[in-house]
Amino acid sequence: MVQRIFYVTQGSLRVWLPGAAGRRVAMKFSDDDRGLREFDRYLSLHPDMTSAMLIDVIEEEFALDSIPKLGQRDRNALIQRRGQRKFRRTPYRVSIYQGTPGRREGEFSVIHSAISNHELVDPWLQLILAHKTPMSGVYSVPLMTPRIAKRLFPVKDAVMFVAPHQGTKLRQVFLRDGAIQSARLSQGPGIEDEDFAKFIVTEVMRSRRYLDRSRLISNMETLNVCVIASEETAGRIRSLVDSNSTDQYRFLTPRAATRKLGQRKLHAADHFEDVFLSAVAKSRPGQSYANAGEDRYWKMRRLRGAIIGSAFVTAAACSVVAAVLLSDVWGLRNRISSIQTQVEFLAETFRRENDRFDPIKADSHEMQLAVDTGDFLLSNRVPVPWVMNQLGAVLGDYPDIKLQELIWLAETPPDPNPQPQRRDVAAPVRVPVTSGVSAVITADIEPFDGNMRHAFSRIDALAADIKRRTTFDRADAIEYPFDANTSSAVSGEILSRPGSQTARFRLRVYYALPDASEQERNSDESI
């Protein structure tokens, strides 16, 4: 933000300080040796304040130019060369590419402006640079006028913006389609003078003739004259303007102008330059005459501020990341503490429970027995899904038979060795050999209509299908629903339920383990 503005006029420099309460403390230095010495002493007391320079002088010239359509790089180079050729005697020049169609088809407008008398600015800038005062730029009132006029008078086409400056001067800026074309600053009477209205009309007519001769406007084209003046002055101007004139006047009071711009009341009605000073204090204008390094200390300060700001932002980001990581570390620490507590609890529980039992002593033979037993169980297990798939392939053809129970039995050959006596010496433990696995299947015929002959045939057919269609070695009926022979070992029952009857029976299926003989040979070796 700009803390101080140097307002350069014809033969003087004023220091404009925007105060916190809207006050404006001005100091004036004349353009002579005494004024320069006083300005030097003032800068020595306040060298580090961020400053800007606003120029409002008569010796500011404008030249309209046209260039062909080019790429941006070639266009910028051409504009720079033409600007140097037009104003080669001053370093304070700027060229603006306006982009509007030029006088001929395929050409575009460029406006070159410069402070033709650079001696009006050089003494002040030399002292400012000597004290290394940060300067944001060297700005011009005419170059800032398009933005101000657009907000006050939203009128396009040809516009002549007229406002009183410096008490006894009249600033005129000609705009077309919102772009500056020409500007004048003329000396005249004050706003309290009776001839002030006549002076404005005369100066506008003089500017109109200049624009006609320069072919910036045609004789038949309407010129919108936008004047900052009091209501009394506006009434006098209306009475002086010819009704047949092609100039169309529009008026706005200074109070209304500052209200539309969102600024405070002017220090004086005839000092409309306060509007431009306030605009410089709020934001940096787009165009600057500081092309010869006059703003290098301001850029260095901005760079330093950017570095400090980025370092602050980086430090803040690192602090946030560190806080997040610290919270994660704290959470992990709590989890580790909880896990350690659980481990200690489990270890104490294991120790306490282990102390309740006598220690188990096992030699190498017993350890080998445990390992072989585990291997045997793993190698001889019959997977239940495989068995159910075998039975399901057959039971699917017998919808009236409902499977109720399936019991597995491991069958081992009889042990030829007699039972050891108490006085016998303990022999090595022998791993039992499983020759096969049998299963007892309990099922119901449902519904059962009491036809025993048919039930027996269904049971026999089921047993034959299981033996024929599955990998089971045998399938025998061990219990029929009914057997009238009292000497038979086969029995059965008929179950009665409300509304239906069922006939229960049992089958035994046998599956011989394919490696039983190999197990038998291995089991003969002692452990």
The gap between the terminal CA atoms of the chain, to the nearest Å, is 97
**Residue type present at position 496:** S
For residues 381-419, one letter each, b for 16 or more C-beta atoms within 10 angstroms of the residue's C-beta and e for the rest, the string is eeeeeebeebbeebbeebeebeeeeeeeeeeeeeeeeee
Dihedral pair phi/psi, residue 366, rounded to 5°:
-70, -40
3-state helix, strand, coil in the chain (%, to 5): 40, 25, 35
pLDDT at 142: 92
pLDDT at 518: 52
**Cα distances (Å, whole numbers) of residue 522 to 384, 517, 527:** 27, 9, 10
pLDDT at 41: 92
Stretches in the chain below the pLDDT threshold 70: 19-25, 100-105, 291-299, 301-302, 358-367, 369-370, 372-384, 414-434, 482-500, 514-527
Residue spans of the domains in the chain: they are 4-59+117-294, 365-523
Over the stretch 509-518, which tens digit does the pLDDT of each residue have? 888 876 644 5
Cis (ω within 30 of 0) for the bond into 447?
Answer: yes
Over the stretch 139-176, which tens digit does the pLDDT of each residue have? 999 998 989 888 888 887 888 999 999 888 889 999 88
